[in-house]
Amino acid sequence: MAHHVVIVGAGFGGLEAARRLDDGDGEVKVTLVDRQNYHLFQPLLYQVATAGLSPGDIASPIRSLVAMHHDVEVRMGDVTAVDLAKKQVVVDGSPVAYDSLILAAGVRHSYFGKPQWEGDAPGLKTLDDALEIRRRVLLAFEHAEREDDPARRAAWLTFVVVGGGPTGVELAGAISELARFTVAKDFRRFDPRTAKVVLVEANARVLSAFDTGLSGKARASLERLHVDVRLQTRVLDVTGEGVTLPDGFLPARTVLWAAGVEAPPLARTLGVELDRSGRVKVDADLSIPGHPEAYVIGDLACFTLPDGSTLPGLAPVAVQQGRHVATTIHAQLSGRPRQPFEYVDKGIMATVGRASGIAQSGPLRLSGMLGWLAWLFIHILFLIGFRNRVLVLFQWAWAWFTYGRSARLITGTTPVPPPGMTGATPSKPAEPVTR
C-alpha cells in the first residue's frame, strides 16, 4: 500500500513538493488538491491587473504540469477543514484520508479588521482578483470620458494604492504608466496624463524588506513616474467615493488594496497555535508541533528563525520548503532521520515601472535599468513552462518599445452603468446586463 500524501494548494510550494515526491517507484501516492485548475505565477499577477499580460500568460493547467508524474493525482476542489486527529481533510464536503499532509494553501489579503472595505478596495491574490482590478482601472477612464463635472472626473482619475510593498509599488508604477503612455491618446474629452496615482504606506519607506538605499531609489523611481508617495500615512476609512487619510478626505473612485495578508479560515480548523495573522507555527522540520505527519509550507507557514524573525512570504521560500518536506517524507519512509529546514536566501527584487527595478542579494545591490534587467531575467527564468516564457518575453519587448498594453479588455460583469447610477450608488457593483 503506497504512502498517501495529500497536498493542499498547487502554488509554488505545493507543486514543488508534488513533483519531488513522485519518485516513479509507486512508494508514494500524491493527491494534489487546488480550488483552481491552474498554477499561477503570482509575482506577475500585477501585470494582468494592469493589462500588460493575459491570464493565460501567467497560468498553466496543473494537470499539464504534473502529467508526467504518474503517481500524482490532481483534484480540483475546495478544502474546507483538516482533522489532524483522524488524519483526514474535507474536500467539497467529502473526507479524504492521508498518511502525510502538506498544507500549502497560501494567504489572502487582510483589511486589518475592516472587512467591509473589501468591496471598495479589492486586493490582488487570484487571477479573478486581477481581472476585477483590470476592469475597474479601465472602466475608470471610460467613466471619466463620460463625466462633465471636473471634480467628479478628477475622482475617476484618481487611483489610490494602499500598501508600499512589492505588489503596491508595482501596481502604482504600472497604473501611472498606463495613464501617461498607453492610453494617452485614447480619449477626447480629457487628458489621461492628468490621472493621479497615490501610494499610501504606513511605514517610513516603501519596500521595507530592502535596505534603506535601495528603498529610497525605488521611491525616487516612483516619483519620476508621477506617483504621489505618501509615507507614514494610515488609511482611516475607505468608501466608494474615496479614502480618508489623516490630513483629510481624498476623492478617488478606484482604491486598490495591497497592505496585508492573513491566513484563510482553513488554518483555524487545525486547532493548533497560529501567529497574529493566522499563520501556522511550525517546528524546525516544518511539521505542526505534535503532528509529525502534517506539514505547513509557503505563505501559510510561520517559520521562526534563530533571531526570532519569521521567513517572509516569497516564492523561493515556498519552493525550498516544498522540496524539504518531500525529502523528509522520503527519508521517513526509508527509516532515515529528519533534518531541520534551512532557508538559503538568494536575495530579493522588485520592479518599478517599465525599466527600473531594485535587487539585493548578499552584498550585491542593483538598481535602475540594471535592477530591472536582473528582475526580468529571474522572472522569465522561473516562469513555468517554456511557451509562456517566450510569449511573455515577446510581449514585454513589444510593450517596451510601444508602451502598448495589449490586454486592455473589460470582461466579466457588464460595462458602464447608466449615468444616473454613477453618483447614486457608488459602492454597489453594476448589475450584470443580459446580452
Q: Which is nearer to its own copies, 189 or 346 (CB)?
A: 189
Using CA atoms, how far apart are residues 218 and 170, in angstroms rounded to an integer? Answer: 10
- Residue 415 touching its own copies (CB under 8 A): yes
Our CB check for its own copies shows the closer of 186 and 345 to be 186
Annotated active-site residue 170? The verdict is yes
Contacts of 25 (CB under 8 A, 6+ apart): none
Q: Of these, 5, 17, 79, 127, which contacts its own copies (CB under 8 A)?
A: 127
Taking CB under 8 A as the criterion, the residue among 96, 406, 426, 430 binding its own copies is 406
Footprint of its own copies on residues 158-197 (CB under 8 A)?
Answer: 183, 185-188
Residues between 106 and 125 that touch its own copies (CB under 8 A): 108
Please state the closest distance from residue 47 (CB atom) to its own copies, in A: 12
Q: Tell me, residue by residue from 358 to 387, as one string, x for binding to its own copies by CB under 8 A and - for no binding.
A: -----------------------------x
Residues 6+ apart with CB under 8 A from 423: 152
**Beta strand pairing call for 348-351 and 3-8:** unpaired
Active-site pick, 16, 170, 201, 241 = 170
Residue 400 near its own copies by CB under 8 A: no
The residues in 26-55 that bind its own copies, with binding defined as CB under 8 A, are 35-38, 54-55
Q: Which is nearer to its own copies, 68 or 369 (CB)?
A: 68
At residue 276, what is the residue type? R
Residue from 391, 393, 426, 430 touching its own copies (CB under 8 A): that is: 391
Pair 407, 52: CB distance under 8 Å: yes
Q: Which residues are bridge partners to 73 per DSSP?
A: 31
Q: Residue 126 has which C-alpha cell?
A: 487570484
Rg of the chain taking only CA atoms, in angstroms? 23
Contact 175, 197 (CB under 8 A): yes
Q: Is 262 in the site for its own copies (CB under 8 A)?
A: no
Q: Tell me which residues in 202-221 interact with its own copies (CB under 8 A).
A: none
Interface residues for its own copies in 51-80 (CB under 8 A)?
54-57, 59-61, 63-64, 67-68, 70, 73-78
Evaluated on CA atoms 384, 387, 393, 398, the torsion sign reads: negative
Taking the C-alpha atoms of residue 435 and residue 283, their distance in angstroms, rounded to an integer, is 55
DSSP state of 270: G
The whole-angstrom separation of Cα 325 and Cα 105 is 15
Sign of the C-alpha dihedral computed for residues 212, 214, 220 and 222 taken in this order: negative
Least distance in angstroms from the C-beta of 240 to its own copies: 19
Size of site (CB under 8 A) for its own copies: 64
Contact 348, 314 (CB under 8 A): yes
Q: Show the CA angle centred on residue 179, arms to residues 234 and 394, nearest 5°.
A: 110
Pairing of strands 3-8, 100-103: parallel
Interface region with its own copies, contact rule CB under 8 A, candidates 157-165, 218-226, 292-300, 401-409: 401-409
- The distance of closest approach from Cβ of residue 410 to its own copies in the complex, given in angstroms and rounded to an integer, is 5
- The answer to whether residue 408 forms part of the interface with its own copies (CB under 8 A) is yes
Kindly report the number of other CB atoms within 10 A of residue 319's CB atom: 19
Q: In sequence order, what are the beta bridge partners of 159?
A: 197, 254
Q: Is 393 an interacting residue with respect to its own copies (CB under 8 A)?
A: no
Query: Does 126 help bind its own copies (rule: CB under 8 A)?
Result: yes
CB-nearer residue toward its own copies: 122 or 164: 122
Per CB under 8 A, contacts with its own copies among 89-108 are: 92-94, 108
Query: Is the Cβ–Cβ distance between 46 and 71 less than 8 Å?
Result: no
Which residues in this chain contact its own copies in the complex, by CB under 8 A? 35-38, 54-57, 59-61, 63-64, 67-68, 70, 73-78, 92-94, 108, 126-128, 131, 138, 142, 145-146, 183, 185-188, 387-388, 390-391, 394-395, 398, 402, 404, 406-412, 414-420, 433, 435
Catalytic annotation, residues: 170
